[in-house]
């Protein structure tokens, strides 16, 4: 039997969020908790959970490990033996949470925004290792809390990870508050500069992470903030997530763990090997329907090209095999068929920069067009080999894929050029052009002369140009119907439906477009939108912008427009939805409408359509609604029965996307994502010199950490720190294939409860808007009307106890109907039916606002009004208009901007 090949050694791991007790170190890697020693060596896996654990903390006795777990969706406190074993959930709060350590009495210390109307308003809590009711500590806002000699406390506020907002000095920079020796009074340590985090006591000194000298390092000072000393000398990566057992300090830096010994004032790296199988880095297959981005139809309308997770596939609509194009690790976007129907053109970053590729039977050909920036649109001509390209530099280019020529056709000084659309003969190109920072017009570019001209006025917002197949009209959408609607709440007006479809008559002296021609019993083929002839009419440039007509349809919201065969025009009509989803006005699918020039009739062609793609045959439409695709014949009447049957088939039109077997190689994706993140910042940052940051050097610095990344969560952490180098607070990272816990959202009662004999007493219920079931405690609902003093003794027939609060029985009950058994002081019971809240924040917010408002009225004898603005977007707009009319007639007005989220 041949000798086995040697197995590879452990790959270096991405080590995060360490905790320390004695010689034991526990940390996060591979989305699990691991244990090692301060001397390094091979780590032992402690968890194999369903989510991403965070903020582990070892108990002072070394027997227990508390951490933030999301194995049942929400961040909660979990507890397990420090050397491994089963985990136990201690809290059921359903809020943001971070474990911060243990108190002297053995309770787990954590911070949470539980019970608060704002997500950034964290407070300190303690919960027994046996479970039960967490106690909120009376310390105000807390993000970190550390205990020194004699129990003296230091509070960290806004002490999030400074590595994500490097060198931040704004109003929410982290700062520390020190308790005086007598206890109870806290003073801010004003002399400590920079963004501070992770306060810790070792002996008589206060240690913390700070970047006052430009790089996150470990510092210490006396309790009064004097005698500042630096104890680490990291110059490339920030020191992060420091923790101490009161004797030594461990922290993360550059995806490695470091140990500082104050007694020796020495710092060293801990050499730890993590024998992980890297399960999340293994190849897997994902549903293509959930990842579709770009779509295109074959010129003949029989096949489609789709982009899913950066991969390009082509397939016939209902039968046949699926082909993937391009094999090199890359993200390919915007794939479109050339007029020959054999080759596709796409943007690709296989080289590390955006280039244009030809994909076809001969494989991949990279076109010789370099330094085009980020491609935002690609559109091949319907004839020949020309391609229109738009980029982030507000440029429009026209290239020939066979000759390799490339010509700059136009450039806007104000915004990106969008929506390139070719005339049927390929001699003209229409596009959306920004004429100012507030206005867009439709422009036309003639290839023969190389000249561009405005087809519409420059003082409106026009978009989505599309040529009529006959070459007689240019269709577009525009916000130019200024028919204001009176507001129902305030004496003001707005334009919620200002858009309409329009056309430009490309030739002078033609017939009225919306007057059907005289016909007999047998309809003649209409002039408008007729099938293209061998030679299309020439465009009469003179007076073009005066030959505009609005379609005889009501104004509204529209997404896309196109001319189709048979003298018809189709467009997507979109619903008017509430901006933040309250009141039931959530976004819903649009519909596809068709206007027939022959009859001037408007009909619904498809009841659901968010967007569509039209083939060059001007007949085949590909509709997209959510994760579903459907192909229909635009020249045929609507088929409501076929649309109702959404099973994939030629008859229904729905396409079986399960035919696309989408394989994902996570390490390849992660490398591409990191490079693209870097490139996006380079190309879109607000100043060209990147605020003085050597951005290529940052890519060289952070790319080697990729070999340590084993999960999507670790990649996110790496991206956050890379973008943090730019020193801007508004550089975010979100989404991605994180390990997803089970969707078992906690139901909420929006009430304060406490253990009582045989149940949990209702101390009080949150008093929100009684008329809004989503913004009030369900215990207040009509038919329930629970009273303070009543006890909850059972939830859904299951009894509660001191260690099993009602919340423990509300897992997976968000939005569900619940039966609660209530008992009064005399022991009489009653059963009530209610609906558990999915989120109690709206109820708590309304109560908070109304309490403040009542206090202001009382303190001012009714002379001062009050309202709060939670942000400068939809929620703030709603709050302003809810309260302004009621509060503005007083002698003074307080506008509360605390906790404002901006916008």
Side-chain-side CA neighbours of residue 249 (13 Å):
32
Helix 874-887 / helix 841-859 crossing angle, nearest 10 deg: 30
The Cα 339–Cα 337 span in angstroms is 6
Q: Count Cβ atoms below 10 Å from residue 789 Cβ, excluding itself.
A: 12
Q: Cβ distance 90 to 808 under 8 Å? A: no
- In terms of phi and psi (left: phi > 0; alpha: psi -120 to 50; beta: otherwise), the region of 709 is beta
Q: Cβ distance 571 to 477 under 8 Å? A: yes
According to the model, what pLDDT value does residue 528 have? 46
The Cα 405–Cα 532 span in angstroms is 29
3-state secondary structure of 150: helix
DSSP codes of every residue in 74-85: S-EEEEEETTS-
3-state secondary structure of 707: helix
According to the model, what pLDDT value does residue 1 have? 42
User: 383-393 burial, b for 16+ CB within 10 Å, e for fewer?
Assistant: bbbbbbbbbee
According to the model, what pLDDT value does residue 792 have? 96
The Cα 317–Cα 315 span in angstroms is 6
E strand or H helix at 717, and its extent?
helix 712-724
Vertex 355, ends 351 and 360: CA angle to 5°? Answer: 100
Q: Cβ distance 616 to 382 under 8 Å? A: yes
According to the model, what pLDDT value does residue 535 have? 64
Task: Using DSSP bridges, classify how beta strands 473-479 and 461-467 pair: parallel, antiparallel or unpaired.
Answer: antiparallel
Residue 376 backbone dihedrals phi, psi, to 5 degrees: -110, -20
Question: Could you tell me which residues come within 8 angstroms of residue 685 by beta carbon, excluding any fewer than 6 positions away?
Answer: 691, 726
The Cα 575–Cα 558 span in angstroms is 9
User: 45-61 burial, b for 16+ CB within 10 Å, e for fewer?
Assistant: bbbebebbbbbbbbbee
User: 567-592 burial, b for 16+ CB within 10 Å, e for fewer?
Assistant: bbbbbbbbeeeeeeeeeeeeeebbbb
3-state secondary structure of 887: helix
The Cα 576–Cα 495 span in angstroms is 11
The Cα 669–Cα 675 span in angstroms is 10
Q: Cβ distance 531 to 617 under 8 Å? A: no
The Cα 372–Cα 356 span in angstroms is 9
Distances (CA, A) of 194 to 121, 164, 237, 665: 21, 14, 16, 40
CA dihedral sign, ordered 835, 841, 843, 844: positive
User: 153-185 burial, b for 16+ CB within 10 Å, e for fewer?
Assistant: bbbbbbbbbbbbbbbbeeeebbbbbbbeeeeee
Cα-atom radius of gyration of the chain, to the nearest Å?
32
Name which of 222, 173, 208, 178 is nearest 194 in CA terms.
173
According to the model, what pLDDT value does residue 578 have? 79
Q: Cβ distance 755 to 802 under 8 Å? A: yes
The Cα 394–Cα 172 span in angstroms is 35
Vertex 231, ends 226 and 232: CA angle to 5°? Answer: 140
Q: Is residue 28 classed exposed, middle or buried when 0-12, 13-18 and 19+ CB atoms within 10 A define those classes?
A: buried
The Cα 299–Cα 385 span in angstroms is 13
Task: Using DSSP bridges, classify how beta strands 284-287 and 292-297 pair: parallel, antiparallel or unpaired.
Answer: unpaired
3-state secondary structure of 755: strand
Name which of 318, 322, 315 is nearest 337 in CA terms.
315
Split the chain (903 residues) into runs of 10 and give each run's mean pLDDT. Answer: 57 96 97 97 94 96 97 96 96 96 97 92 96 94 95 95 92 94 92 96 96 96 96 97 97 98 96 95 93 95 95 94 90 96 96 94 92 96 96 97 96 97 95 97 96 94 96 96 87 89 94 78 49 70 93 94 94 86 63 94 93 95 94 86 84 94 94 96 94 96 97 97 92 90 95 93 96 95 95 95 93 96 93 96 96 97 97 92 93 95 85
DSSP state letter for 584: G
Question: Could you tell me which residues come within 8 angstroms of residue 439 by beta carbon, excluding any fewer than 6 positions away?
Answer: 458, 459, 460, 461
Question: Could you tell me which residues come within 8 angstroms of residue 767 by beta carbon, excluding any fewer than 6 positions away?
Answer: 776, 777, 780, 846, 847, 850
Long-range pairs for 597-601 at CB < 8 Å and ≥24 separation? Answer: 597/513, 597/514, 597/516, 597/526, 597/527, 597/528, 597/529, 597/567, 597/568, 597/569, 598/516, 598/517, 598/519, 598/523, 598/526, 598/567, 599/516, 600/514, 600/515, 600/516, 600/552
Can you name the residues that pair with 473 across neighbouring β-strands? 505
Name which of 79, 105, 74, 106 is nearest 90 in CA terms.
79
Can you name the residues that pair with 217 across neighbouring β-strands? 210
The Cα 201–Cα 246 span in angstroms is 6
């Amino acid at each position: 039997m041949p000798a086995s090949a040697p197995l590879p050694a452990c790959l270096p791991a991405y080590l995060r969020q360490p905790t320390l007790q004695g010689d034991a170190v526990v940390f996060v890697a591979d989305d699990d908790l691991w244990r090692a020693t301060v001397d390094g060596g091979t780590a032992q896996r402690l968890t194999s959970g369903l989510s991403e654990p965070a903020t582990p903390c070892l108990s002072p006795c070394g027997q227990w490990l508390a951490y933030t777990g999301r194995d049942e969706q929400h961040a909660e406190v979990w507890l397990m033996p420090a050397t491994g074993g089963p985990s136990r959930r201690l809290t059921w709060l359903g809020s943001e949470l971070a474990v911060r350590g243990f108190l002297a009495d053995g309770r787990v210390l954590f911070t949470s925004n539980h019970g608060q109307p704002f997500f950034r308003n964290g407070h300190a809590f303690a919960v027994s290792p046996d479970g039960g009711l967490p106690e909120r500590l009376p310390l105000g806002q807390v993000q970190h809390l550390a205990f020194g000699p004699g129990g003296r406390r230091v509070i960290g506020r806004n002490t999030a990870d400074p590595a994500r907002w490097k060198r931040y000095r704004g109003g929410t920079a982290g700062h520390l508050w020190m308790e005086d020796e007598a206890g109870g009074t806290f003073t801010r340590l004003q002399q400590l500069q920079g963004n501070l985090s992770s306060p810790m006591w070792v002996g008589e000194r206060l240690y913390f992470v700070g970047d006052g000298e430009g790089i996150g390092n470990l510092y210490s000072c006396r309790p009064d903030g004097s005698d500042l000393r630096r104890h680490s000398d990291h110059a490339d990566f920030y020191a992060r997530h420091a923790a101490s057992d009161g004797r030594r300090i461990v922290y993360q830096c550059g995806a490695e763990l470091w140990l500082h010994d104050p007694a020796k004032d020495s710092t060293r790296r801990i050499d730890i090997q993590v024998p992980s199988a890297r399960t999340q880095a293994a190849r897997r297959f994902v549903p293509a329907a959930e990842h579709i981005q770009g779509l295109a139809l074959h010129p003949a309308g029989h096949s489609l090209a789709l982009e899913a997770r950066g991969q390009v596939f082509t397939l016939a609509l209902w039968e046949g095999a699926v082909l993937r194009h391009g094999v090199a690790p890359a993200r390919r976007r915007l794939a479109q068929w050339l007029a020959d129907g054999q080759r596709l053109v796409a943007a690709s970053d296989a080289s590390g920069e955006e280039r244009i590729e030809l994909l076809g039977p001969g494989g991949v050909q990279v076109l010789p067009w370099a330094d085009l920036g980020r491609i935002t649109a690609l559109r091949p001509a319907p004839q020949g080999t020309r391609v229109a390209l738009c980029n982030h530099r507000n440029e429009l280019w026209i290239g020939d894929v066979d000759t390799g020529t490339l010509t700059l056709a136009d450039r806007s000084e104000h915004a990106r050029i969008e929506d390139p659309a070719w005339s049927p003969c390929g001699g003209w190109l229409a596009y959306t052009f920004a004429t100012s920072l507030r206005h867009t017009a439709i422009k036309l570019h003639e290839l023969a002369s190389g000249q561009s001209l405005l087809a519409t006025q420059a003082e409106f917002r026009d978009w989505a140009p599309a040529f009529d197949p006959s070459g007689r009209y240019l269709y577009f959408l525009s916000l130019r119907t200024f028919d204001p609607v009176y507001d129902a709440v305030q004496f003001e007006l707005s334009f919620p439906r200002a858009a309409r479809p329009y056309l430009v008559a490309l030739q002078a002296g033609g017939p009225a477009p919306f007057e059907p021609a005289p016909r007999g019993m047998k309809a003649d083929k209409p002039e408008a939108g007729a099938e293209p002839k061998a030679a299309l009419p020439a465009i009469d440039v003179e007076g073009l912008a005066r030959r505009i007509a609005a379609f005889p349809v009501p104004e509204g919201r529209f997404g896309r427009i196109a001319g189709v065969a048979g003298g018809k025009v189709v467009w997507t009509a979109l619903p008017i939805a509430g901006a933040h989803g309250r009141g039931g006005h959530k976004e819903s699918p649009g519909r596809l409408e068709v206007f027939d020039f022959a009859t001037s009739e408007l009909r619904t062609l498809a009841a659901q359509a968010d967007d569509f793609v039209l083939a060059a045959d001007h007949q085949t439409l590909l509709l997209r609604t959510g994760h579903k695709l459907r192909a229909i014949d635009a020249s045929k009447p609507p088929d409501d029965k076929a649309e109702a049957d959404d099973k994939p088939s030629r008859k229904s039109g729905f396409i079986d996307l399960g035919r696309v077997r989408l394989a994902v190689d996570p390490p390849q994706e992660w490398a591409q994502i990191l490079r693209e993140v870097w490139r996006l910042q380079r190309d879109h940052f607000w100043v060209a010199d990147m605020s003085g940051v050597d951005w290529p050097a940052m890519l060289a610095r952070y790319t080697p950490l990729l070999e340590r990344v084993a999960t999507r969560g670790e990649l996110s952490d790496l991206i956050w720190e890379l973008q943090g180098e730019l020193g801007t607070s508004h550089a975010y990272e979100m989404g991605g294939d994180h390990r997803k816990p089970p969707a078992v959202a906690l139901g909420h009662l929006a009430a304060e409860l406490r253990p009582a004999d045989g149940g949990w007493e209702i101390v009080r219920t949150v008093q929100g808007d009684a008329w809004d079931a989503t913004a009030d405690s369900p215990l207040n609902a009509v038919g329930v009307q629970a009273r303070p003093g009543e006890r909850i003794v059972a939830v859904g027939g299951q009894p509660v106890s001191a260690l099993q609060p009602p919340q423990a029985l509300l897992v997976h009950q968000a939005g569900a109907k619940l039966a609660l058994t209530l008992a009064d002081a005399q022991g009489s019971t009653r059963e009530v039916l209610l609906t558990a809240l999915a989120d109690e924040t709206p109820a708590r917010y309304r109560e908070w606002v109304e309490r403040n408002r009542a206090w202001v009225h009382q303190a001012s004898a009714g002379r001062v009004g009050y309202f709060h603005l939670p942000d400068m977007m939809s929620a703030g707009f709603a709050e302003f208009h809810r309260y302004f009319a009621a509060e503005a007639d007083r002698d003074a007005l307080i506008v509360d901007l605390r906790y404002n989220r901006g916008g």
